[in-house]
Homo-oligomer: A and B are copies of this chain.
Amino acid sequence: MTTSKKAEAIDNGVNTDHLLGARGEIEEEPAKALFTWRATCEWRYGTHAVTKISDFFGFEAEQPRNKTFAVDTDHPMLFAAEDNGATPIEIVLVGLAGCLTGGLAAIAQHRGIQLRSVTSHLEGTQDLQGVLGVDEDVRNGFGGIRVSYEIDADASREDLEALVAQAQKRSAVFDILVNPTNVQIKLAAPAQSDGG
Contact = CB atoms under 8 A, between A and B. Distances in A.
Interface in A156-196: 157, 160-161, 164, 167-168, 170-188, 190-191
A147 B183 contact: yes
Given A177-B181, A178-B181, A182-B145, A98 B88 contact: yes
Contacts of A18: 79-80
Interface string A52-72: 010010110001010101011
A105 interface: yes
A23 B138 CA distance: 14
Interface in A54-112: 56, 58-59, 63, 65, 67, 69, 71-83, 85-106
A68 B86 CA distance: 9
A179 to B, nearest CB: 6
B176 A183 contact: no
A144 B71 contact: no
Contacts of A98: 41, 49, 51, 71, 73-74, 85, 87-88, 91
A58 B150 CA distance: 26
